[in-house]
Amino acid sequence: MIIKSIELNDFRNYHDLKIEVSPSINIFYGSNAQGKTNIVEAINVCSCLSSHRTSKDSDMIPFGMDNYSIAMNCLDKDGYETKLSVDYSLQNTPNRKIAQDNIKLSRISEFLGICNTVIFAPEDLSLIKGAPSVRRRFFNLLISKSIPSYTKLLHTFNHILMQRNKTLKDIKFNNSADVNMLLDYWDYPLAEVSSEIIIVRYRFALLLSEYAHKHHLIISSNKEDLQIRYDTISGVSEALEAFVKDEDILSRFISGTASTAILEGIKANVHDIVLSRLTKNRQNDIEHGITMSGIHKDELDITLNGLSMKNFSSQGQQRSASLSIKLAELEILRQITSTSPILLLDDVFSELDINRRVALLSGMVDAQIFITCTDRSYIEKEIKQLLKTNEEPKFFKIEAGKVYPDC
């Protein structure tokens, strides 16, 4: 997918903006706090319905306004034009409306994957040192962009979990005598959807670890071993590892070509473990009035040379690891979707040394790229050298929410 033009209305500091962009390299430059990041944020929101700066859509509405809208006119891989749009209003229910070619889409899964983006930003450090919820959000979005139907599984899980938690509160405060019957009603479907999500997450964690490890070896000159392990409900990870210890089964599982029999066998085993944990923890859950363990508490355990990066790593190592993880995201999306995502580089060059800049740009040939920076001359020379391209970047000067394309 290639973006041809971008339209913003009342998004951040842009009241009414329409710009045509290059199919190759686009560079937005200017002083700090002028609105450069707002443009790449808008592209990200209009592609994967997610901001790298906030989890609240209302934060992107200017003061005194009650809505924003983003539209992108694009060309798909077959050369057909399509328009993607996101509208958010504080007054409407639901607040957010998504559409393709002005046709409203009712499900997020219908929108995700149409135009994939990968964003590199200073906030990526939170993947290493942030809370587990930060890594879960990144991981869920990566899987959803690769397999849009995954969002349906998440929606189903969250609905059942909410109902189970409501039941737990009712039991706690009303002293119901039919505890097991009431919880059985929710525990069986919760274990069913949990087992499906776990299998998908485990596969993507293996992919993420493999590619992040490879990229980190290059960045660290073969000095550091980066590993990512999927940490879920007690006993499940061990069961999964036992199932795929055969190299042929592991290879087919990672590539997505494992037989139905193998997948059903894994799922049945995982389902039984999850259901057993839910049953075992019922009394504790009732006392707290909430489900205390489950896949909503999953974590990605990131280690460097065998040590937890969250507790034992320098900021330089964290920066390298987060870059490796984002490069792995790029490679996974290319492999699974057979298309090259649009790349968004938000003020990252000033944070990286030459080795990291080379690693970052090494996989970006033949992709549409959007870059924000403060120094035009520096970035122009660097981009052309590292990308080894004769393509002339298209420059946009940003001043106080105004965009001036260079002629």
Supply the pLDDT for residue 238: 86
Q: Report pLDDT digits (tens) over 137-162.
A: 999 999 999 999 999 999 999 999 99
Cα(107)–Cα(123) distance, integer angstroms:
28
Rg (CA), the chain: 23
Supply the pLDDT for residue 376: 80
Supply the pLDDT for residue 260: 87
Supply the pLDDT for residue 92: 80
Q: What are the φ and ψ backbone dihedral angles of 42, each rounded to 5 degrees?
A: -65, -40
Q: Which amino acid, residue 47?
A: S
Supply the pLDDT for residue 235: 85
pLDDT less than 70: residues of the chain: 176-177, 350-351, 362-365, 384-391, 407
The model carries a pTM of 0.90
Q: Which CATH architecture has domain 128-338?
A: Up-down Bundle (1.20)
Supply the pLDDT for residue 362: 67
Q: Which CATH architecture has domain 1-116+339-407?
A: 3-Layer(aba) Sandwich (3.40)
Sequence ranges of the domains in the chain: 1-116+339-407, 128-338
| Two structure tokens written together for 362 | 């090494």
Task: Render 319-387 in DSSP notation, one character per residue.
Answer: HHHHHHHHHHHHHHHHHHHSSPPEEEEES-GGG--HHHHHHHHHT-TTS-EEEEES-HHHHHHHHHHHH
Spatial contact of 224 and 317, defined as CB atoms under 8 Å apart: yes
Supply the pLDDT for residue 70: 98
